[in-house]
Structure formats: C-alpha cells, structure tokens
Structure 1
Amino acid sequence: MVKNNNLLILILAIGVFGILSTEMGVIGILPVIADTFGVTVSQAGWLVSLFALVVAFSGPTMPVLFSRFNRKRGMLFVLGIFIIGNLISIFTTNFTVLLFARIVPAFFHPVYISLALTLAATSSKPEDAPKSIAKIMMAVSAGMILGVPIATFIANAASLQWAMSFFAVVNAAAFVATLFLIPSMPAAAAISGGAQVSVLKKPIVWLSIAAVILINSAIASVNSYLAEFLSTISMISGQTLSLVLFVFGIASLGGNLLAGKLLANNARKSVVSYPIILGIAYTAAFILSHFFGPVVIAVVVAWGVIFAIGNNISQYWIASSAPEAPEFANGLFLTCGNLGITLGTAVGGFFLSGMGIRYVIVGGLLFLVLSLAAVLLRNFFYKGERLTA
C-alpha cells in the first residue's frame, strides 16, 4: 500500500472534502434554505447543529463497529449513504425529509474520516505518517472553510438545488475513484470492540481527551465569532471582510502541511508549544484589534495557520495515546473536536454577551491555559512515552 500512497491519499482527501463540505457547506445557505422550505433561519440551523451532535455521539462507536469489515467496502458504503442523502436533499420539498437526509449520513461521517486518517498513517512509512495525516487534515480544513463560500456562490448564482448537487458530485467522484482505483483492503487485524474501548482505562487517554477538548474550545470560542470581531472591533466589513476570511482559509490550508512537518520532527515540543503560540496570536489580536494592518496580519497569517495546526495537534495527541486502537482513537478525536466546538462556542457567547465581542479572546486564553496544563500533565506522568500515532 505504501507504493500507492499518493493516489490513496488523493482519493481519501477528495472523499473527506466531500463529506466535510456536505456537513459545513450549508452554513452559508441557511437563509436560502429557510426561504425555500418556509422555516426560520434558526430552524434551518438544525441542519448544522443536529449533524454535529450526531457526529459527536457516533464518533467513538461507529468506527469500532466498522473496524472488522473490509475498509474499501466501508468507504464505499459511507460514500453511497452520503450520495443518497445529497440526492434526496436536491429533490425534496419537505424540511423534515431534508433534516433526515442529513442526520442519517451524519451517523456514518466518523467512519469515513476515521478510516481516512488510519489509512493515511498505515499506508505510509512510520516517519512520514504525520505528513500523510496532515494532507487528510488539509482536506478537512478545505471542506470546513472552502465548502461554505463554494456552496454559497452556487446557490446565489444558480439555485439551492445546484448547491446541493455540488455536494453530490464531489461524493460521487470519490465513490467512483474508490471503486476503480483502490484495491480491496481487508481489516488488518480483528481487534474486538471491547478491546478497543478498553483503552479508556488508560489515564493517558483521558489526559489527551481533556487537552483536545480544551484546545478545540480555545479555538471555537474565538473563531465562531471571528467575523463579528473583525466587523465590530476592527471595522472590517463587506467585501473586505469576505476577502480577509477567504485568505484566512487559504492560510489554514498551508498550516496543515506545516503541522505535518512539525509533528514529524518533534511531536512533543510541537504540542507543548501550540497553546503558547496561539495565546500569543490571540493576545496580539486583542491588543492590535483597532489597527487594520496589524490585526489582519495577526488574524490571517498567524491565526489562520495556527488554527489548522490545532486540528493536526488534536488528532495526533489522541491517536498517540491509543495506537493499539486507531479507529476508536480517531473516532474519539472527532467527538472531542465537536464537544470542544460546542463548549467553546457557548463560553465565547457568554463573554460576548457579558463583556462585549472583544473579550471572546479572554475566553480563548483561559481555555489555552487549561489545555497547556493538561498537555504538561501528560508529559510529566509519561516522560518516557514513545509518541506514535
């Protein structure tokens, strides 16, 4: 499989991009969905919030259930479910049907992402695994960040149905490529579900879970309100705001590749440094928030790149704590990420309503202090630990 690593990674990245675009792409077209289906925007928001809730719930369980099956068949099954859900979304005129067309695929979302991360690692030489995983994480970032403007542009230029068709086409492309270009991949070893879940008995796993939830909370508590922060405090709005957010997304893609190199060179140092460096970027944005040029540099260059590194750090920190159960560990990573987003968004909203938009950064800094403590605790108790993912 190492021989075909580049082709495999490319196909997996297309599939990951399609699935993440399906999940996040509707954010930009919620008003269009609300008008089309005769619901409020907040009701249309269920398409996002319920999807994320299902992913958080199924993250640790579904990858374990599928770990005994042929991996190629598992990927085809999940992609097929997403294609069917997308097709229903294109043609339905009932909001409840649309909601179910998204909720059902959400249960299988962690299966594909977990498989993609596991295969990226196992199909590479051990020293190159972080770089291969970083390429998958870049597809995750692309789906989360670029999927929104792409879907929004298509919906505004053509129609909602064409925007939904975009999701279906990407997933279908991944399905066809997987069917014809990826060989059969039987499960490497029949690790029982009980054996995989038993890694939760290890204190190192719980320290890693705590760190990852806190890191993602630190990111989400600020990033969820980034547009509001820039428009209200930095007076960046309209097309300029759209451009800044777009460049932020592009910078984050580069951050994924940088993360792979950092983790491959010195994983422990990279993880310990992350909360400190992000804290510096947050502090700079807080201090320079009223100055256009400096805040754009702080947000786009530093913040955008660092944001993407956080996803890679999170995946690596959990996967390295339970290398004997990779599917379960990657499922935990997805669950922790979604829990962190939920917690961080709520706390950021608390600071916003209580102190003002500028102070969402304070909430982020508090989470970073706690995440650094969790990382240092793991390093203290497991000094001789060999980091492998």
Structure 2
Amino acid sequence: MKKPYLIYIIAFGIFGIINTELGVVGILPQITELYGISAAQAGMLVSSFALIIAIFGPFMTLLFSGFNHKKIMAWVLAIFIISNLISAFAPNYTVLLFVRIIPAFLHPVYFSVAFVAAANSVPKDQSTKAASKVFIGLSVGMVLGIPITSFIANQFSLEAAFLFSAAVNALAFIGIVALLPSMPVTVKLSYKKQLGILKKPQIWLSVATVAFIPAAICSVYSYFAEYLGKITLMSGKEISAMLILFGASGVLGNLIAGKLLSKSVIRTTVLFPIVLSIIYLLVYYLGAFTIPMILIIVVWGILFTSGLNISQNWLISEASEAPEFANGLFVSFSNLGIALGTALGGLFIAHMGIQQVIWSGIIFLVLAFVSISLRVKLFGPNRQLTSVHIESKDYANIPKVRPN
C-alpha cells in the first residue's frame, strides 16, 4: 500500500469520536459533583447520546450521502472539537447536555463514510483488512477511552478531560484536511435506491445480528470491572491492568478478524457466537482463578473487537449497493444492541448476582447464532461471500493502490 497512514488517520478520527461518546463514562462522578445533579441526570449524558445515534443514524447517513467524503469527515470532527471545547467550560448541566446532543447526530455520518473511504482506498482483495484497521480506532476508543479520560480528570481536572477529547479530534481533523485526497462522490445514489435494500429479508436478518452481537458483548463487558473485583477478587490496580490488557488484545482482534473475513465471511460469522459462548462459560467456571482469567481476558479482548468487525461486515456483505446507508444501519442497531445488552446484564446482576451476568451474554449469542443460521440457510451458502468492497467509482481523485 502506497499510503497506509491514510487509513490510520481515518481510524484516529473514529477514536476521537468514540472517546467523546464514551470517555464521559469515566468522569460522571466529577460531573455529578460539579453541577450538583443526580447520578441519573449525569447518566443522560451517555444514554441520550446513544439514543440519538440509534434513532437518527440511518436518516443522517442518507441525508449526507453524496457529499464529498473528505469534507464530511472534516466537518464532523470540527463539530466534535467545538462540542468538547464548550463542554470543558459549560456553565451548567443544561448547556453540557445540549452540546453533547448535537454531535451525536453526526456520529454515524463519520462512521458510515469512514468505512467506505477505507474500503475504496485499497484493492478489492484488501478491503476487509482496511475496514479492520478502521475498527482499531473503535476498539481503542471503547476499551481505553474511559480509563484515559478518567485518569486525566483525576490527575488534573474535569476541564482537562474534555480538552483532551477536543485535542484528539483536532489532531484527526488536521490529518484529514492536510493529508487525505479529495473524495467527491461522482455517482450519487437516490434515497429510494438506498432505502430499497430494506426490502431484502436477508437485510433484516443481518440487522438482527448487528444488534444481537454487540448486545452479547456489552451485556457482560459493561460489568467487567465489577466481575473481576467481586469474583476474581482483583484490586483496583489489577483491574486497571486487565483493562489495558483487554484493550491491547482488542487491537490484535481487529487484524485477526480482517484476515479471517477475507477468507470466509460465512464461516467466520457462524463460528463467532460459538467461540464467544465457550469463553463466557470459561469466565463463569474459572472466574475465581486469577491466572486462568488473565489468559481468558486475552482471548476475550480479541473476540470483543472481532465481534463488532464481523457484524459490520455481515451486514455490508448484503448491501454493497448502498454501503453508506448500510453502515448507518450498523451504527444505529449496534448502539441499540449495546443499550439492550447493558440493560439485560444489569437485570441479571440485580436479581441473581454478578456471576450470573454471563448468561445474559449467552442468551444474546444464541439469538445471534439463530439469525446468522437463518440467513445462511435461506440465502446462502451458495453465495460466495468472501470480502466486502464497494463496487463503484465514488472517488474521482483518490489514488488507487496496486498490490505489491
């Protein structure tokens, strides 16, 4: 690849956006204290963000389809920069909530464009690997964004934590403006044609998978620290180290998923819920033992980010004619799945205890396996799904890359 850093610049933008969305989770106690609000009110900074993404994601993606992709990514990052700057000095909770809500509308727009841009910047046989590299920004943001933001707030101030998010988005903005080629869309799909993919029943089975896999992942991971504290009896420092290990494994998971998907989308997707179920059972039965748990966490981290990569690829493989809209569906329904999974995991903990949270994840994995199997049975495996690439001449000026 002539300019491999281009994909990593796009991925860094993903990290900045995810850090803005989820980093606030690590500083909710400081926000509660500063503005004199309840924990439930502070939690709205997270839930309202996710709810807007879930509801408006596909529509916002449709609205901005056809715009120059480079300009769209730059403008979205500019909004995130402004949002974080105002958040750092928000005079009251109402202002903070308002400036958190606005960028949430644009969150799925960047995501949908980012995956298309990455896929179109490489040869067809490398497109899934390119998308996997973009997912590195997502996995690092999800796993490390919270502890990094929390650390900055505790060591310096709440304002510094928001300024950190602003700085990350600013660096990504500069990289995109200065280094990415222009990415005009020369063939704009009509809204009708993009919405037409919803007529395909296999799309809805894929959308179900997109919701169930993140639900299965986050119904357990959301309570990762509590599980290690109460079941594995780890200290706060040990749990922090496990979070870092989990995150590092997640970066590796993106690369592994990309290679597996490039060989066989169907086999990789079918096996995922089976393998993660095995890991969850190991967590359930060996969770009290430190050394086995450390080894399990490595594999768990790999599967965590692989699951998001796999579910996105599973959806796009049935909607390559409208990739931006399909990515909008992915962002929307994966956020819905995260909300559902976290809620069900909380119910299991409230009624049965922390160790039983594992079964909430397995329930969603069973549902994911059913939706995957139905699509394969009804619409495959005669179709040769190997990799995802957008077959279009979207970009007039983007340099095409030849295989080595």
- State TM-score, norm by structure 1: 0.96
Equivalent residue number for residue 217 of structure 1:
215
Picking from 86, 107, 111, the partner of 1:88 is: 86
Q: Separation in 2 of the partners of 1:184 and 1:296? A: 45
The CA deviation at 1:368 is 1.1
Q: Per the alignment, in what secondary structure is the counterpart of residue 264 of structure 2?
A: helix
Provide Cα deviations, 1:263-298, integer angstroms capped at 9, x if missing partner.
112221110110010011001111112222112221
The CA deviation at 1:15 is 0.9
Q: Per the alignment, in what secondary structure is the counterpart of residue 185 of structure 1?
A: coil
Picking from 309, 313, 333, the partner of 1:312 is: 309
Root-mean-square deviation over aligned CA pairs: 1.3
Q: Separation in 2 of the partners of 1:91 and 1:363? A: 40
Provide Cα deviations, 1:134-170, integer angstroms capped at 9, x if missing partner.
1111110111111111111111111111111111111
1:114 and 2:89 aligned = no
Equivalent residue number for residue 159 of structure 1:
157
1:281 and 2:255 aligned = no
Equivalent residue number for residue 336 of structure 2:
339
Equivalent residue number for residue 16 of structure 1:
14
Kindly provide the amino acid, as one letter, of the partner of residue 76 in structure 1: A
1:344-359 → structure 2 map (5 Å cutoff): 344-359=341-356
Equivalent residue number for residue 47 of structure 1:
45
Equivalent residue number for residue 26 of structure 1:
24
Q: Separation in 2 of the partners of 1:191 and 1:3? A: 29
User: Structure 1: where are the runs of 5+ without partners?
Assistant: none
1:104 and 2:102 aligned = yes
Equivalent residue number for residue 257 of structure 2:
259
Q: Per the alignment, in what secondary structure is the counterpart of residue 318 of structure 2?
A: coil
Picking from 138, 141, 144, the partner of 1:143 is: 141
Equivalent residue number for residue 298 of structure 2:
301
Contact 2:57 2:328 in 1 (8 A): yes
Contact 2:213 2:308 in 1 (8 A): no
Q: Separation in 2 of the partners of 1:262 and 1:150? A: 31
Equivalent residue number for residue 183 of structure 1:
181
Provide Cα deviations, 1:158-194, integer angstroms capped at 9, x if missing partner.
1111111111111111112222212221114210112
Kindly provide the amino acid, as one letter, of the partner of residue 29 in structure 1: I
Provide Cα deviations, 1:97-140, integer angstroms capped at 9, x if missing partner.
11111100010000011111111111111111111101111110
Q: Separation in 1 of the partners of 2:149 and 2:59? A: 30
Q: Separation in 1 of the partners of 2:293 and 2:144? A: 22
Kindly provide the amino acid, as one letter, of the partner of residue 173 in structure 1: L
User: Structure 2: where are the runs of 5+ without partners?
Assistant: 389-404
Equivalent residue number for residue 201 of structure 1:
199
Equivalent residue number for residue 71 of structure 1:
69
Aligned residues: 386
The CA deviation at 1:386 is 3.3
1:380 and 2:377 aligned = yes
Q: Per the alignment, in what secondary structure is the counterpart of residue 39 of structure 1?
A: coil
The CA deviation at 1:385 is 2.1
Distance 1:85 1:150, change over 3 A: same
Distance 1:3 1:189, change over 3 A: farther
Kindly provide the amino acid, as one letter, of the partner of residue 25 in structure 2: I
Equivalent residue number for residue 60 of structure 1:
58
Contact 2:144 2:243 in 1 (8 A): no
- Percentage of pairs with the same residue: 49
Kindly provide the amino acid, as one letter, of the partner of residue 79 in structure 1: L
- State TM-score, norm by structure 2: 0.93
Equivalent residue number for residue 395 of structure 2:
none
Which 10-residue stretch deviates more, 152-161 or 33-42? Answer: 33-42
Distance 1:286 1:175, change over 3 A: same
Equivalent residue number for residue 244 of structure 2:
246
Q: Separation in 2 of the partners of 1:372 and 1:88? A: 44
